[in-house]
Amino acid sequence: MCFKHVFITADPTYAARAFDMDVIDYLVKPVFPDRFKKAVQKAIDYLKFSTSEAEQSYLTFKSDYKLNRVLLDDIQWIEGFREHIKIITRFKQYLVLQRLSDFMNKNGELGFVRIQKSYIVRKKDIVSIGAQSVQVKGGKQLPIGRTYKDLLK
């Protein structure tokens, strides 16, 4: 389980960096009781949301200032763009502030495998493996990197 934080500080200049670290909330002193209660409720909601039943069948992440929970079976592939990843599902695409390598370190045990420098898929969703591409469920062809091809055997 990944621990999240609520920052309380007198210096507001670090707020943007704190949210880059994926904090739940950032409070600037003086902290008023209503605002503190709101931050505590956010933390409680996050814990309930991320540790609920069948945790392994869902992926939980922040995108568009919201906490999202997506069924693993709905994910078609994940594409990396420097500091961001795009999670492509059957219904929607999500842009997440996270490196592809960090995603793999955190979620590799969920059956994800890297097939190329910029692509991750769930191994069970691979329909066929060609010389230069992988076909995933839904029919999409994704490029396969030479260095990653051995991981698919």
- Cα 33 to Cα 27, 29, 42, 89, distances in angstroms: 11, 11, 14, 40
Q: Is the pLDDT of residue 75 over 90?
A: yes
Q: How many domains does the chain have?
A: 2
> What is the pTM (predicted TM-score) of this model?
0.64
Shared domain check, 10 and 73: no
Same domain, 75 and 25: no
Looking at residues 47-53, what average pLDDT do you find? 63
Do 81 and 19 belong together in one domain?
A: no
The domain of 139 spans: 61-152
Q: What's the confidence (pLDDT) of residue 54?
A: 46
- Domain match, 65 and 132 both: yes
45 and 89, same domain (yes or no): no
56 within some domain: no
Query: 83-109, pLDDT tens digit by residue?
Result: 999 999 988 999 999 999 999 998 888
Is residue 37 a part of any domain in this protein? yes
Tell me the pLDDT band of 1, cut-offs 50, 70 and 90. very low
Q: How many helices (H) and strands (E) are present in the chain, helices listed first?
A: 4, 12
